[in-house]
Amino acid sequence: MPATPLRLYRGHLVALVVFASSGLTIGSVQYAFGEFVGPLRAEFGWTQTQINLALSFALIANLGAPLIGRAADRWGIRPILVLSLLALAVGFLLRPLISELWHLYLFSSLVYLGFPGATLFAVGKLVKLWYPATAGRVTGAVTSGNNFGGLTLPALAAVVIAAAGWRAAYVAYGLLSVALAVVALLVVTEERTKVARAMDASGRAHLSGHSAAASAEGLTLREALRSRRFLLTMVGLVAASFTYQGVLTQLRQHFQELGMPPAQATIGLAVIAAMGVGSKLLFGRASEWITARWSTVISVSLQAVGVTVLALASGPTAGWVGIVIFGTGFGGLGALLVLAVQEVVGMKQFGTVMGVVQSAAVVSLAGGPLLAGIVHDATGGYGPAFLVFAGVFVVGVLLMVAARPEQRPS
């Protein structure tokens, strides 16, 4: 009797959806932010601080993250992912109606409402379920979608803005979000029977038991909050997360202020995004070799050095040196935020625990862009703010070093 042909593994399709969701969300909200600053300032006359304050509305996502994470643990990530992408779509599709500054803040709030469920929660809840034996490297591959989005979506915005204006670029982002929500609804599942069936049909039946065990193992939220290792890891990751809203969203303008033409500044951001793909693959794999904790130490250390070089740069040449160093470490953090938490607390209540980590990161996500904007308006540059962020990264590194596995009593 001929052997039954193996089917395409559904996990690959799920991974592609998570890849696209992370890329679309982070690429449009963070990487492409700078593409809209010039047009908004030109049309409305708002200051850098006023526009940067829109980034601080990420606190809505972070304050709501514990509830979203708990919902993902209770009802599954599929409905959370679909609703998150639809929130993103509404936030973008309404932005062409902006005529007052508070409109920008309101629609930014809608976008950020969908942020956790479309990024970290989706990665953390789905990758280890479908790839229990290779979660580190697959998490690195899936989160490289962040950088793919950073490579493509700012360029898309730049082209559309040049051809049809900033309003049309926001509409394009909204339509992409709607399309991806439909795909996620059709593809994503966490049902144990469907996962096991898909593994069996694709020759991965031996992984089914590992997947079930991984889903059930780990700490509860109460146990995590009593763990010294978890608390140190959480604060260390919060310090590291200043890189997103504090540094990344300001880089394009900083590059121009270093003397790079606008096109070269966009290329500089694209280089960081492209390097991030390799960085995530490297650090994801490294997390299986040297643990996610030590991988995070290396990643954040490289960012501290790179941001310092960028802060002290006096021209494009030094700026490119900073780009290479920063980009090498920066990309890996997107995967390590998930892997470092999973390494400590497991999957049992990952969504709930990750929600608490996200809520703690309100300090960086709200304070980072506000500090950068105030310093820029006061000094005419981002250098001093970047030096502060470099110091915060060093603190994060020391905390991660201190977050050693706890000794279990014999």
How many Å separate Cα 164 from the centre of its chain? 29
Q: What is the pLDDT of residue 5?
A: 55
CA distance 230 to 234: 6
Residue-range domain boundaries for the chain: 10-402
Coil, strand or helix at 367: helix
Q: 183 phi and psi, to 5 degrees?
A: -65, -45
CA distance 116 to 146: 13
Residues 106-141: tens digit of each pLDDT:
999 899 989 889 998 999 999 988 998 888 999 999
15 to 47, 109, 189, 235: CA distances (angstroms): 40, 27, 11, 29
Confidence of residue 2 (pLDDT cuts 50, 70, 90): very low
C-alpha dihedral (276, 171, 67, 228), degrees to nearest 10: 20
Instruction: Name the architecture of domain 10-402.
Output: Up-down Bundle (1.20)
Q: What is the pLDDT of residue 410?
A: 47
What is this structure's pTM? 0.83
Report the 10 Å Cβ neighbour count for 388: 17
> How large a percentage of the chain has pLDDT more than 70?
96
Residue labelled with tokens 């709607």: 178
Q: What is the CA radius of gyration of the chain?
A: 21
Range 173-185 average pLDDT: 97
Residues 186-225: tens digit of each pLDDT:
999 988 888 888 888 888 877 777 676 767 788 899 999 9
Closest CA to 336 of 386, 285, 405: 285
Query: Which two tokens mark 20?
Result: 């696209």
